[in-house]
Chains A and B, each alone.
Chain A
């Protein structure tokens, strides 16, 4: 029984219940404390996960290196987003504001709870359940602003994500059926069991389950062509929720895909599961890179950047190189920090200019002395500029790809990432690095809307620099352990 593991499952649940009852000011504090505590506990799990192989709390919860790799960025975003949200939310006075705050904070906590629990549950069936919970909770949070756009986005999101998860459930059932050939008709879908017997599963059925899982969970991960809900939900949700959707929720579905990948690799050998991911990854990267060139809406721009990065993750997994897999796992963490920070910056800009339309945002750096430059840095980090973490992770992925026999794919990856870089940097320079407009600037004073936004962004950037300059030793061990888990053929 690992107590830290148990605490990660319990603390956000308590925070959810508490924030439903407490006044706004206390809810803010509770959420921030819960976020920071859970992040600290996740960090504390890193050394023991690498030395013991895996940690357990009862039959339902189990954390190995791969789980912790996904738990760390999720809890990091929980902590930073709760700080950001405390500064970002402007509540109307009176009852309406109180109702909104109660829904928002309880929703934020339960959303983070579901995302922290998903990588800790033991087995494909419970994982599906956890991811379904993240969907229904986040759909309500997308709709929380109650505007026409928010309702439309929430409806598209819950319908498409539910359908995707319906397919993912079918995949889970097929995987269960494959297992009955080895374990008999009644067993649980726990990871240890599945992996131990995977080489004896019938190949046709595992193949079907793998494709269905990538398609089904890929819908929530934002892989093209099943990504269509993503830009809408990301742009219409309140910005703290956008940051969580983009940085943590998408990665969580990728985690589910990796769990299927693990079993499939052991049963089918690496070629088939890699090719499935490659097809979806390439489609995502191509389409996202092109859409990035034609965006008008700041938050949609960042949303398409998420599609791009999910494509990079899928392509990275398709390279036959351990280095690339380490890169992919580092990319998950770095992308969470970078995308979170970028959305925080976008939130600051939207608060200042009262619009998401990039044609009407000018002189961002001039008007926002701290969050403006930090948004520019976050976008540079997203475009894989050194010294930030994504530079290192994409470097590892490309280096791994070049050692793969199909090294032309690595070249394609670099070209498409460059196109995406062009799109991102063009719009950022247009909006942020232009002089403050004389006439339109009327009424816009120079200054930050909230200090907490600046703090949240600064924390994100520090994380990115740490990942880029020197990955701490224990984290590096963790990444290598998780990569070994993913490549193990037998």
Chain B
């Protein structure tokens, strides 16, 4: 509906999606791992608020439960686990990257534009759907990929995966808000298990190499 003014829901969803994308950009350029984790917590908080907006405007009460779970898990528990891990690691906490900040940001902008146009090319005709928010959520996923590819330390890579999940959550909230609650809870539970496994592997990696860098992970080839 190009000519009509956006509804409150569409407007709110688009604004929140943009916030999530901007946080993703901030994570990409954050030099300190600690600030990256905090940005992830903030991003999760924004995603949680989207769940509340969707629950209120579309009268999907189940989503309040999801919002509560997502707050506890993604805003409190996951960042805390990773921060505890970081406080144990007595190494330089600055992340490392293959390129400078400017280059990384340019690449991220390029993939965001790609996401925006490729979702636009789908011609989603819908009065109820904020298609801008959908395109932005795909952009979040792609920028998370850039983050994982360009940063070479285990914490950034794990956080990149978690924030990718935030991007998928945004997509799921805007286009699939009716998904059964049990499925959403299963997704969150899976995330928690993944966090634990990532955490275990990060600790083992740090224990063996005394570093969080992935530079030493280059033995297996061919």
Contacts and interface: CB of A to CB of B under 8 A. Distances in A.
Interface in A175-194: 176-177, 180, 184-189
Contacts of A176: 172, 175-176, 179
A125 B179 contact: yes
B141 A159 contact: no
Interface residues on B, range: 35 or more
B217 interface: yes
Given A163-B148, A177-B176, A152 B219 contact: yes
Q: Which among B198, B218, B222 has the greatest number of chain A C-beta atoms within 10 A?
A: B222
B175 A151 contact: no
A300 B222 contact: yes
Nearest to A60: B182
B171 A187 contact: no
A170 interface: yes
B161 A159 contact: yes
Given A146-B204, A170-B171, A129 B190 contact: yes
B183 A155 contact: no
Interface in A327-379: none
Contacts of A129: 183, 186-187, 190
B164 interface: yes
B122 A173 contact: no
A129 to B, nearest CB: 4
A122 B205 CA distance: 38
Given A170-B141, A294-B222, A185 B194 contact: no
A60 to B, nearest CB: 9
A133 interface: yes
Interface SS of B by simple majority: helix
**On chain A, which size bracket covers the interface?**
35 or more
A148 interface: yes
Nearest to B204: A151
Contact of B197 (A158, A177, A204): A158
Contacts of A300: 222
Contacts of A174: 175
A241 B55 CA distance: 43
B204 A185 contact: no
A268 B138 CA distance: 23
Nearest to A170: B168
A109 B104 CA distance: 43
Interface stretch (A65-73, A135-143, A424-432, A465-473): A135-143
Contacts of B176: 173, 176-177, 180
Contacts of B6: none
A129 B200 CA distance: 21
Nearest to A132: B190
B214 interface: yes
Given A146-B204, A155-B205, A159-B158, 9 more contacts: A143-B201, A148-B208, A151-B201, A151-B204, A158-B201, A163-B145, A170-B171, A205-B122, A208-B122
Interface of A: 125-126, 129, 132-133, 135-136, 139-140, 143, 146, 148-149, 151-156, 158-159, 162-163, 166-167, 169-170, 173-174, 176-177, 180, 184-189, 204-205, 208, 231-232, 235-236, 291, 294-297, 300
23 contacts: A125-B180, A132-B193, A132-B194, A148-B208, A151-B201, A152-B216, A155-B154, A155-B201, A158-B198, A158-B201, A159-B158, A159-B161, A170-B138, A170-B171, A173-B176, A185-B58, A188-B180, A189-B183, A204-B122, A204-B123, A205-B124, A208-B122, A231-B220
